[in-house]
C-alpha cells in the first residue's frame, strides 16, 4: 500500500501524480498555484489501476485527444499537430508552454 500524491494546476488545469517527489510548481506552465491531494491506493475500486499521470482518453464526455493547443496565460490558440504534445510548443505571444484544449 503506497501513498500516491496527485496534483492539479489551478492555472492551466494540468493534472499529474508522482510517488515520492514534491512539486512546488506546475511542470507545464510553471505556476505555483497548484493543489496536492493524497490518495491512498487502497481506496481505488478493485481492479482499477494507475494510468500513469494524466488519465486516459475517453473517460469523460469530451473523449479523444485535444483539438487545439491553448496558452493558459494569454489565451492564444493554435491547431493541434497530431503526435506533437501541446506542451512542446511555446506561445508566440508570451512564451508560456501551450496546453491541450477542446
Torsion sign across C-alpha atoms 9, 29, 17, 100: positive
Indicate the number of domains in the chain. Answer: 2
Instruction: Provide φ and ψ at 42, rounded to 5°.
Output: -70, -10
Do the domain assignments include residue 50? no
Given a contact cutoff of 8 angstroms between Cβ atoms, the answer to whether 100 and 84 are in contact is no
Reported as a single tens digit per residue, the pLDDT across 32-71 is 888 876 555 334 444 444 444 444 444 445 556 788 999 9
Q: Print the domain residue range for 67.
A: 61-102
Q: What is the pLDDT of residue 21?
A: 76
Do the domain assignments include residue 7? yes
Do the domain assignments include residue 31? yes
Cα 61 to Cα 11: distance, rounded to the nearest angstrom: 22
Q: Lowest-confidence range among 2-6, 70-74, 90-94?
A: 2-6
Q: What is the pLDDT of residue 91?
A: 92
Cα 85 to Cα 70: distance, rounded to the nearest angstrom: 12
The three grid cell numbers given for residue 48, joined into one nine-digit string: 482499477
Do the domain assignments include residue 54? no
Given a contact cutoff of 8 angstroms between Cβ atoms, the answer to whether 14 and 28 are in contact is yes
Amino acid at each position: 500500500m503506497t501513498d500516491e500524491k496527485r496534483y492539479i494546476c489551478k492555472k492551466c488545469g494540468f493534472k499529474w501524480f508522482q510517488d515520492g517527489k514534491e512539486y512546488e510548481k506546475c511542470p507545464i506552465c510553471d505556476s505555483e498555484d497548484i493543489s496536492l491531494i493524497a490518495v491512498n491506493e487502497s481506496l481505488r475500486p478493485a481492479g482499477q489501476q494507475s494510468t500513469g499521470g494524466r488519465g486516459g482518453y475517453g473517460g469523460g464526455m469530451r473523449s479523444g485527444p485535444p483539438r487545439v493547443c491553448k496558452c493558459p496565460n494569454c489565451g492564444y490558440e493554435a491547431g493541434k499537430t497530431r503526435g506533437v504534445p501541446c506542451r512542446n510548443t511555446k506561445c508566440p505571444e508570451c512564451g508560456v508552454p501551450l496546453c491541450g484544449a477542446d
